[in-house]
């Protein structure tokens, strides 16, 4: 786990992402590992539950760019081991940091995130951009596209066909 974490630290990743261990009140442990920006970020698997008794259990899964593991008090090492075994099985270079994203890739992802956040059209209230027939979005006097262009100074990216 230490090697995997260190291999992903690049001066930026560790300021945003990382590994979190917390306690549960039933009692138990919760392990959350950020996968975004690693070479296993696109990997996922369905939730697996194992239970020998009320005091010997674990649950683990990977989705939404995170590995999650919850377990009884005595199973923290086992859940960490499951993560390590899974990470190794996903990529033979599991300790290699992925190639840095290009400026264009970062910009594309930032644009997609901004566009996704611009929702909630206000029905019957038109965009204030000259000649636009679309409804404005919440918290703006403009429609989604014109708000994006105003904020970024760039045209709305078009999806590839």
What is the tens place of the pLDDT at every residue in 14-44?
Answer: 989 999 999 999 999 999 999 998 989 888 8
Same domain, 130 and 77: no
Residue 131 in any domain: the answer is: yes
Higher pLDDT, 11 or 124: 124
User: CA 120, CA 137: separation in Å to the nearest integer?
Assistant: 5
C-alpha radius of gyration, the chain, whole number:
22
- With cut-offs at 50, 70 and 90, classify the pLDDT of residue 112: confident
For the chain, list the strands marked E by DSSP: 19-24, 28-34, 45-53, 56-63, 66-71, 121-126, 135-137
Evaluate if residue 161 carries a pLDDT over 80.
no
The pTM of the full predicted model, rounded to 2 decimals, is 0.66
For residue 30, which phi and psi values (nearest 5 degrees)? -125, 125
Domain's final residue, options 90, 113, 136: 90
Same domain, 84 and 43: yes
Same domain, 73 and 109: no
Kindly report the number of other CB atoms within 10 A of residue 31's CB atom: 22
- Average pLDDT of the chain? 91
Residue 160 in any domain: the answer is: no
Mean pLDDT of 134-159: 91
Q: What is residue 159's predicted lDDT score, i.e. its pLDDT? A: 64
Boundaries of domain holding 30: 2-90
């Amino acid at each position: 786990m230490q090697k995997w974490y260190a291999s992903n630290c690049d001066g930026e990743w560790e300021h945003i992402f990382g590994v979190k261990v917390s306690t549960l009140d039933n009692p138990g442990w919760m392990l959350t590992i950020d996968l975004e920006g690693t070479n296993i970020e696109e990997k996922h698997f369905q939730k697996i539950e194992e239970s020998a008794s009320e005091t010997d259990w674990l649950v683990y899964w990977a989705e939404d760019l995170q590995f999650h593991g919850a377990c009884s008090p005595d199973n923290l090492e086992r859940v960490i081991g499951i993560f390590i075994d899974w990470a190794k099985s996903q990529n033979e270079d599991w300790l290699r940091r992925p190639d840095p994203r290009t400026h264009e890739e970062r910009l594309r992802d930032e644009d997609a995130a901004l566009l996704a956040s611009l929702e909630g059209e206000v029905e019957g209230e038109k965009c204030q951009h000259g000649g636009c027939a679309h409804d404005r979005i919440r918290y703006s006097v403009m429609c989604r596209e014109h708000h994006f262009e105003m904020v970024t100074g760039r045209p709305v990216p078009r999806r590839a066909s």
